[in-house]
Structures are given as C-alpha cells and as structure tokens.
Homo-oligomer: A and B are copies of this chain.
C-alpha cells in the first residue's frame, strides 16, 4: 500500500452560490493528489505523458460528508491499496483538521495518444514491483 497527501487552500473560484466548494472541484483535488503520488513513486505524470502515455479516468465515485468553504485548508490523501494491473483503482480521503469531509475513488488504465489501451510503462511496473509483491 502506498499513499500520499497534498494540501490545498480552497480558492474563491472553487466556491459556488451555495457558499461552499462546488462539488466538481474535488475531482481536480483528487488529480493533484494523484500527480503527487506518481512523483513520490518516481514516475512523474509529466514524464509518462512525454513518453506518450495517458492515464485517463475511466470511473469515479464521490461521497460528500460535509461542505468545505472558501479559505478552508483541506488535506487530500490518495491511496493505492492493491497491486495495479492493466486497470487500477485509487482511493481518496479529504480532511479539514480532523474531520473527514469527503471521500472517493478513481479508476484508471494507461492508454496511448489515440486512447487505445496499452501496457503500463516499464518504469511504472518496476515501481509497482518494489511496493507490491506479485
């Protein structure tokens, strides 16, 4: 299991007329955490991308426990719990202070620039081998 946490201060532009963070923005926060996780694993998304690999979201789910507001400091933790194969799932928890405000998941597979499924890049699989026994 590998995991990584990033912090965000809710931007005014991320709020909506309910006075809270618009629910779609949590997907961008998940993405920030995902990017940081790949960095931590030694597979920066930017390098995957220049090598021709894309990692689109195939499925996503979110459960909102309570709203967050402008200027709240939120922590987003992403976890890769099981050894990734062609398709893999990441889970997320969003906290303000000690409170779990929201959680969710995304599912991914590597594709090429034409969005055709491809085998994961070698350095990604090396990293996976280091963290998860086969």
Q: A12-B45, A22-B13 are in contact. Are A67 and B56 (CB under 8 A)?
A: yes
CB-CB nearest in chain B for A19: B17
Within 8 A of B (CB), among A48-92: 49, 54, 56-64, 66-67, 69-71
Report chain B residues within 8 Å CB of A5.
none
* Closest chain B residue to A57, Cβ basis: B23
Known: A16-B13, A27-B23. A59 touches B64 (CB 8 A): yes
Q: Which applies to chain A's interface (DSSP): helix, strand, loop or mixed?
A: mixed
- Mind listing 19 A-B residue pairs with CB under 8 Å? A11-B31, A12-B28, A12-B45, A13-B22, A15-B16, A17-B19, A17-B20, A18-B54, A23-B60, A24-B25, A44-B71, A45-B70, A58-B63, A58-B64, A59-B62, A59-B64, A60-B60, A66-B115, A67-B115
**New A-B pairs, 7, CB < 8 Å, besides A12-B28, A60-B62, A61-B61:** A11-B28, A11-B31, A15-B16, A17-B19, A23-B60, A46-B70, A67-B115
User: Which residues in A have some Cβ–Cβ distance to B below 8 Å?
Assistant: 9, 11-13, 15-20, 22-25, 27-28, 31-32, 35, 44-46, 49, 54, 56-64, 66-67, 69-71, 113, 115
